[in-house]
Chain A
Amino acid sequence: MLDKNGIAKRIAKEIKDGYYVNLGIGIPTLVANFIPDGINVVLQSENGLLGMGPFPFEGEEDADLINAGKQTITTLPGSSIFDSAMSFGMIRSQKIDLTILGAMEVSENGDIANWKIPGKMVKGMGGAMDLVASAKNIIVAMQHVNKAGESKLLPKCSLPLTGVNCIRKVVTELAVLDILPEGGFKLIERAPGVSVDYIKQVTAGKLFADDGAPEMILD
């Protein structure tokens, strides 16, 4: 079973040289720590920055330079700044190669729910609906089961949707799964020490796993 860093590390292997990448808040943010040497990527922050650098050294924080999580950050050689309309323009026109975001639920036809729980204070969707509606390549980083032990990979999402039929790959603490164009989760890799039977047990949506799947290689 993977911890959060393990999930981030596995997702980092999906990043190719030259990619422009948008990382969501939570586990997706950790992916930046595991980008392999020799792979050049440009991170987009949707508040208006391409080329997001690391956190500043103490004393060098700049209130005018933050990421979409409102954290102080830095720029890098080659960075560019733009307004919010252009930021979502490059998202909608699919200039961003890869989007990595978290989810509360994903369904077997690629629907995603990650912004609202009825009965709880709703904070808003931020840029998530724009990203999932337009991105050509979305990886969801999420826990396979919720705190009650129930599957979050479902036949149909129970929570209000963020986007429909848009997710093609999910990485959890247990597995890497593709969502097939005709519907259903296809098991691609297992986390170290996790059995196919266990993955079957905790995947409520349709699962194609009869061919088995190799253990993932993280290093």
Chain B
Amino acid sequence: MINKVVTGADEAIRDIKDGSTLMLGGFGLCGIPENCITALVKKGVKRLTCISNNAGVDDFGIGLMLQQRQVKKMISSYVGENAEFERQLLSGELEVELIPQGTLATRCMAAGYGMPAIFTPAGVGTEVAEGKEIRNFNGKDYLMEYAFDADFALVKAWKGDTTGNLIFRSTSRNFNPVMAMAGKITIAEVEELVEPGTLDPDHIHTPGVYVHRIFQGANYEKRIEQRTVRPRN
């Protein structure tokens, strides 16, 4: 039986080095690879290019890596409220490429499906289209967008087995499955690591073939960014 298990985040990220390109799953702070981020902060690797829908908040998620000046470039769709991010951007320390959210997801998907590029209408006629090839299909213009090329994908799943099969929970799925498919090396951290045969094959979201290393994470904070509730009656 193939076994992808590593001891923890430190071993999983051992060969991430200065200048690596990383994908990080999650939407806002939901479904982010918390343990891998902590390990990257500890390791102190620098000049990283991070492909992630968002950039965390000041003191959590990718924000922790920004505080340590580990990120050279962010490729995101929305960078939201993050004072340190804003400071580094305005001072020129940090490079940011903003791309439409669907384009971001689909460029991951293309990489995982072995397709070099996709055509999307998102951004046609806007500054996003500058310098990009445009093709007309059935009377409508589309931009050609390339598949991402990432050294590592860091994803967070709910359950996984030792062969790398993954199941995600609720909307913490978001970018995780498409990024898992797209990394040259994909590292999955899971809340619960189980033996093969425990997970129903029909319920697997990401087949283990896409996952190179897996470990059971610890101490998940799962911080809520916008706590919204309704009164009982």
Contacts and interface: CB of A to CB of B under 8 A. Distances in A.
B105 A47 contact: no
Interface residues of A, number: 54
B210 interface: no
Contacts of A72: 224, 226-229
Interface in A158-185: 160-165
Main secondary structure of the interface of A (DSSP, over half): loop
Given A87-B105, A92-B121, A130-B103, A47 B174 contact: yes
Contacts, number: 175
Interface residues of B, number: 56
Contacts of A209: none
A65 B170 CA distance: 6
Interface string B142-183: 000000000000000010000000000111111111100000
B106 A85 contact: yes
B100 A125 contact: yes
Contact of B109 (A71, A75, A85, A121): A85
Nearest to A162: B126
A47 B171 contact: yes
A63 B89 CA distance: 29
Nearest to A128: B100
Interface string B119-138: 01111111110000000000
B105 A88 contact: yes
What are the 6 tightest A-B residue pairs by CB atom distance, in nearest-first order? A88-B102, A130-B102, A164-B125, A124-B78, A63-B222, A84-B105
